[in-house]
Amino acid sequence: MVTIRTEDIPNIVEAGAAELGITGLDYVMESGADVEELIKLDFGRSRIVLAVPQAWNIDDPEEIKGEIRIATKYFNLATRYLERKGIRAKLVKISGAAEIMPSLGAADAIIDVTSTGTTLKLHGLKPIDTVAESYALVIGNKDWMRSEEADRINLVLTMMKGALNARGKKMIFMNVDDNSLKNVISSLPAMLAPAVSRLSGTEAWEVVTVADEDDLPEVIAKAKTAGARRHS
């Protein structure tokens, strides 16, 4: 496992120096790296926006008149966006905080990442358009399945997907007498079907199922009414 700058990960993975990487979709789009998007993660949601000074009396990029200077670390994304929108601009390529550039006089506006918009507001800026949406994701080298480590990589991906799918879900274990089994099973939710196994030396069963955490009280109440007992 190697820790490197997030923006470098797409190119590192494309080059084969790493089979997998975790980065932002914005950096994948910016780099143009030929990588495989494997798992969309549930964090790092953000937007790349065009932001201008709040004093500008505009709310749409089409209202921009003349050529402006735009500070950004997303040079390629910004170039494609400006061409698409027909905005005349000189890009000021930076690697640090973009939001201070207008106040320093180095740029008129910025194209940068935001999640809540608070930092932009603190610097007297307002977003007027979304350039791209972004989120964290797992990327892979295009040839990872032919790698010597393919089985291990597939195991890692399976474990990650399992952890994501398990968010907000709980396993429920219960004991059920033989004469109540049918009623209990019919009362339970399950992704496919509850797991049922005979308890040794008894006329009872162990029943295991999975339920959404929000539904847990209702599921337990229904199971107990149908004849389930606490798992011992």
Helices (H), the chain: 9-14, 25-31, 75-85, 101-104, 118-122, 150-165, 181-187, 216-226
pLDDT in tens, 74-129: 999 999 999 999 999 999 999 889 999 999 999 999 999 999 889 999 999 999 99
The pLDDT of residue 192: 66
What is the C-alpha separation between 221 and 201, in angstroms, rounded?
27
Least confident of 185-189, 216-220, 227-231: 227-231
Q: How much is the average pLDDT of 191-197?
A: 80
DSSP character at residue 42: S
Q: How many CA within 13 A on the CB side of residue 5?
A: 5
DSSP character at residue 1: -
Q: Is 46 helix (H, G, I), strand (E, B) or coil?
A: strand
User: Among the three residues 114, 133, 152, which one is the final residue of a domain in this structure?
Assistant: 133
Question: Within this chain, do residues 155 and 191 fall inside the same structural domain, yes or no?
Answer: no
Domain housing 184: 169-230
Q: If DSSP states are collapsed to H, E and C, what string results for 122-167? A: HCCEEEEEEEEEECEEEEEECCHHHCCCHHHHHHHHHHHHHHHHCC
The pLDDT of residue 167: 84
Dihedral of CA atoms 126, 132, 136, 142 in degrees, nearest 10, equals -160
The pLDDT of residue 190: 66
The pLDDT of residue 101: 96
Overall pTM surpassing 0.85 (yes/no)? no
Question: Within this chain, do residues 52 and 113 fall inside the same structural domain, yes or no?
Answer: yes
Output the domain CATH number for residue 36: 3.40.190.10
pLDDT at residue 168 greater than cutoff 90: no
Output the domain CATH number for residue 226: 3.30.70.120
Burial class (CB in 10 A: 0-12, 13-18, 19+), 113: buried
Integer Rg of the chain from CA: 26
Question: Within this chain, do residues 27 and 67 fall inside the same structural domain, yes or no?
Answer: no
Q: Please tell me the total count of domains within the chain.
A: 3
The pLDDT of residue 232: 61
Question: Within this chain, do residues 73 and 152 fall inside the same structural domain, yes or no?
Answer: no
What is the C-alpha separation between 184 and 228, in angstroms, rounded?
6
What is the C-alpha separation between 29 and 131, in angstroms, rounded?
11
pLDDT more than 90, % of the chain: 69
Question: Within this chain, do residues 181 and 221 fall inside the same structural domain, yes or no?
Answer: yes
Structural domain includes residue 1 = no
Mean pLDDT of the chain: 91
pLDDT in tens, 31-75: 999 999 999 998 899 999 999 999 999 999 999 989 999 999 999
The pLDDT of residue 173: 93
Structural domain includes residue 222 = yes
Question: Within this chain, do residues 94 and 123 fall inside the same structural domain, yes or no?
Answer: yes
